[in-house]
Amino acid sequence: MSLQRISRSRGLTLLEVMIGMAIGLIGIVIIAQVYLVNENYKRSTTGAGGAQVNGAIALYTMERDLRMAGYGVNNASALECGQIQYYYNGTYSSPPGAPGGLMPVVLAPVVITDGGVGAPDSVTALYGNPADRTTLASLSKVMLTADADLDVDNPTGFSFVPGGTGDLAILSQGGVCTLIQVTDVEMSALRIKHNSGVNAPWNPAPGGSFSAYATGATLFNLGRPTVNTYSINASNLRLLSVFTSTSTTVVPSYNATPVAIVNDIVDLQAQYGKDNGIDNGTVVNAGGYIPNDGIVDSYDSVTPANATDWLQVLSVRLGVLARSQNYEKPEPAGAACTATTTTPTWAGSGPPGSTANFTVPDGLPSCYKYLVFETVVPLRNMLWR
């Protein structure tokens, strides 16, 4: 064998192998770095997109309920009640029970519960959906007992299905309100019955704790009412529907368990828009601050104290804080987070310490991005009353 053939069969030297491996490793490092940077950008974009979708859905869901708020109860005699007294399957609310096992329900189009400094608010919307009647009726005779039949000026539009699955209605007089369930309507006698029974779980048996009413008491038909409370828990927007009903022929049932409906919603703030003639610096009215002129004069979260104050609530201002799904690790490792460095604000934000300010749950600076969604919802049933 010649020396030339031996030389060609030797292959790569160790040095050449090491150089090839080094070039390959450098390529792998560059490719991995490009991939990681691209993945971070992708996660940041998709996380912000998720917050955008969640915040929009949360705001739309609450806004839809608030636009219906007050339907069927936008009347001074209903709004003077405060908490209604009601009963369901052997349990009373408080009032009249002491203590009541059913949660309190305020007869108002919208109720804002201020969570205080650093905590989210909760918002409750109430409205009826009677199929045939939205105007009130009035008692033409005194009720001798709380379970007595209701003699009214006109029972038209109070619906029931044979067997007792009738509308829910509110009796109101002198600041006291009672929820009853219609079980029969006698048109010729101008009379509405609200007997107890299996198909009427909202009516207590005779001798219960409800109030009796005198001539002139008003009766509001709510049909299948909606009482929806929105709140924040564990970074989720929750919905509690107190009255649940699948159709007009099914008896509404009571529910005390909220469910999470939108993820990564970390704060909720709300304020009443009031036509009260007060300038508190939240609204600019060039024509002056005149009460009861149909124009909102101020925003605050103070619950109205009486029917006159409730009738001045014309809108609700909402602010929702949504968090991205992506935790953005600081670079280099151990450095401070930079995704969010200042507290997000909205139209209702006040000076430091204000109960209307947003709070970033994990503190600042944060490794999450936050998006603010806000709107003003006109309470059309209060405007059109």
Question: Can you give the residue ranges of every domain in the chain?
Answer: 53-383
Question: Residue 139 has what pLDDT?
Answer: 97
Distance from C-alpha of 140 to C-alpha of 190, rounded to nearest angstrom: 9
Distance from C-alpha of 103 to C-alpha of 231, rounded to nearest angstrom: 15
Distance from C-alpha of 66 to C-alpha of 381, rounded to nearest angstrom: 10
Report pTM: 0.87
Distance from C-alpha of 195 to C-alpha of 160, rounded to nearest angstrom: 12
Distance from C-alpha of 145 to C-alpha of 143, rounded to nearest angstrom: 5
Per-residue pLDDT of the chain (385 residues; tens, 9 = 90+): 555 555 555 667 778 778 878 888 888 888 877 766 666 665 655 546 788 999 999 999 999 999 999 998 888 888 988 899 999 999 999 888 767 789 999 999 999 999 999 999 999 999 998 877 778 999 999 999 999 999 999 999 998 877 657 899 999 999 999 999 999 999 999 999 999 988 899 999 998 889 899 999 999 999 989 999 999 999 999 999 999 887 767 788 999 999 999 999 999 999 999 999 999 999 999 889 999 999 999 999 999 999 999 999 999 999 999 999 888 888 777 889 888 999 999 999 999 999 999 999 989 999 899 999 999 999 999 988 7
Question: Residue 61 has what pLDDT?
Answer: 96
Distance from C-alpha of 110 to C-alpha of 301, rounded to nearest angstrom: 11
Question: Residue 42 has what pLDDT?
Answer: 59
Reading the block at residue 151, the tokens are 């003699």
Question: Residue 46 has what pLDDT?
Answer: 54
The residue length of the chain stands at 385
Distance from C-alpha of 133 to C-alpha of 342, rounded to nearest angstrom: 51
